[in-house]
Amino acid sequence: MFKVNEDYLKLPGSYLFSTIGKKVAAYSAVNPDKSIIRLGIGDVTQPLAPTIIDALHGAVDEMAHAETFHGYAPDLGYEFLRTAMAKNDYQDRGCDIKADEIFISDGAKGDSGNIQEIFAKDNKIAVCDPVYPVYVDTNVMAGRTGTYDPKTETWSDVIYMPCTKETNFAPELPKETPDIIYLCFPNNPTGSTITKEQLQEWVDYANKVGAVIIYDAAYEAYISEDDVPHTIYECEGARTCAIELRSFSKNAGFTGVRLGATVIPKDIKQGDVMLHSLWARRHGTKYNGAPYIVQKAGEAVYSEAGKVQLKEQVAYYMNNAKVIYEGLKSAGYNVSGGVNAPYIWLQTPDKMTSWEFFDYLLENANVVGTPGSGFGPSGEGYFRLTAFGSYENTVAAIERIKAL
Ligand code: MLT
């Protein structure tokens, strides 16, 4: 008789965004006449930039001819894309990352969930609280997190680093020493950032205690301030302790196209064993590469025209962020984020819990957001709105919230 992986049974409820989806669908079914504005999941709404569409069309046409047809992609991804990333995302910023340290994938969500596989089960993870749920849930599935306490909504073997108003939504170095540290800046969900000096402290700490930092840089394109690092490799010593996750979803609108990358410098080692080799082995065994067509679209992100068009797209979303931030502030809400990130983090009014505010907003303004508690216990009493809607919907949503 087969046995299921019991670690899956430890997971409380369903995935955050599935729960929200179900709640909204149930409300819609009973209220079919209501026009609902979705500012919940961080999914983009603007069409792909023209240069990217051209690259996709061109690659599709190549697939129609034997001479230019492409089958399986190389294990680590096509050289043309890895070289473009190494140059634009790293070398042009003075960071020492080579093309063969970049692994192309079909997105940062999968990589952020899968990366834990190359570490021993008894590694202790540290996460920010609140946090993107994938980091914790995938470690639960792997049996690394101990037991769940429904009262505190925490796992016994996870180190939580509260990111609250008191800490300016930044984590502090943990008292207990972790083996793996998940950091995401600009942050999902709080929209906060840390400076290069602050990130340097984390790199120094990781090198000192022998930990690995898994740095999720998915929102890098939204940075507007100078002292905010675009990659962890701007910090000295990051080559020996940091893995970086990159996404094409938010900077180029690839949520439905799927493309991402993981950077593993060859200097992260335990004895003679490079983490790079383990991930290469995993990639080779379990993955057949992002489609050629999509990797060609990814290459177009780094073309001159692509850069200009995507800058405009990011500016469009950041204008929405401003509409949300300023609108809520003028309505008396406590808000943060939205300056270097497409997320606005607000305190729920009248001591409502995050889920109470979710229901209140859905029912009274027909606006969907994300309850802060869904990202961890320190998110209770907070709520996240995304700037990824259309401008018109964003303005309408804020008008509705102000009218409450
Ligand atoms: C979010 O809403 O937090 C993001 O869309 C999640 C993701 O990028 O997978």
Task: Determine whether the shortest distance from the Cβ of 379 to ligand 1 is under 6 A.
Answer: no
Domains in the chain (CATH in brackets) are 6-48+305-402 (3.90.1150.10), 53-303 (3.40.640.10)
Task: Kindly give the distance from the C-alpha atom of residue 188 to the centroid of ligand 1, in angstroms, as a whole number.
Answer: 8
> Among 16, 39, 41, which residue has the most ligand 1 atoms within 8 Å of its CB, making it the best to mutate?
41
> What backbone torsions phi and psi does residue 38 show, to the nearest 5 degrees?
-100, 105
Angle of helix 16-30 versus helix 354-365 axis, rounded to 10: 30
Task: Determine whether the shortest distance from the Cβ of 137 to ligand 1 is under 6 A.
Answer: no
Best CA proximity match to 115, nearest among 290, 287, 279: 279
Please tell me the distance from the alpha carbon of residue 205 to that of residue 161, in angstroms, as a whole number: 15
Task: Kindly give the distance from the C-alpha atom of residue 301 to the centroid of ligand 1, in angstroms, as a whole number.
Answer: 21
3-state secondary structure of 1: coil
> Would you state the torsion angle of the CA atoms of residues 115, 120, 121, 124, taken in this order, to the nearest 10 degrees?
-80
Q: What is the pLDDT along the chain (404 residues), one digit of tens a residue?
A: 999 999 999 998 888 889 999 999 999 999 999 999 999 999 999 999 999 999 999 999 999 999 999 999 998 999 999 999 999 999 999 999 999 999 999 999 999 999 999 999 999 999 999 999 999 999 999 999 999 999 999 999 999 999 999 999 999 999 999 999 999 999 999 999 999 999 999 999 999 999 999 999 999 999 999 999 999 999 999 999 999 999 999 999 999 999 999 999 999 999 999 999 999 999 999 999 999 999 999 999 999 999 999 999 999 999 999 999 999 999 999 999 999 999 999 999 999 999 999 999 999 999 999 999 999 999 999 999 999 999 999 999 999 999 99
- DSSP for 183-246 reads EESS-TTT-----HHHHHHHHHHHHHHT-EEEEE-TTGGG--STTS-SSGGGSTTGGGTEEEEE
**Looking at this predicted complex, what is its ipTM?**
0.93
Give residue-wise pLDDT tens across range 4-43: 999 999 998 888 889 999 999 999 999 999 999 999 999 9
**Order of strands across the sheet with 242-247?**
102-105, 260-263, 242-247, 212-216, 180-184, 125-129, 158-162
Q: Return binding residues for substrate.
A: 15, 42, 109, 132, 188, 288, 384
Structure tokens of 377? 């216990």
Please report the sign of the dihedral spanned by the C-alpha atoms of residue 256, residue 257, residue 258, residue 261: negative
Task: Kindly give the distance from the C-alpha atom of residue 372 to the centroid of ligand 1, in angstroms, as a whole number.
Answer: 13
Query: With contact defined as beta carbons under 8 Å apart, do 88 and 302 qualify?
Result: yes
Residue appearing with tokens 């027909």: 366
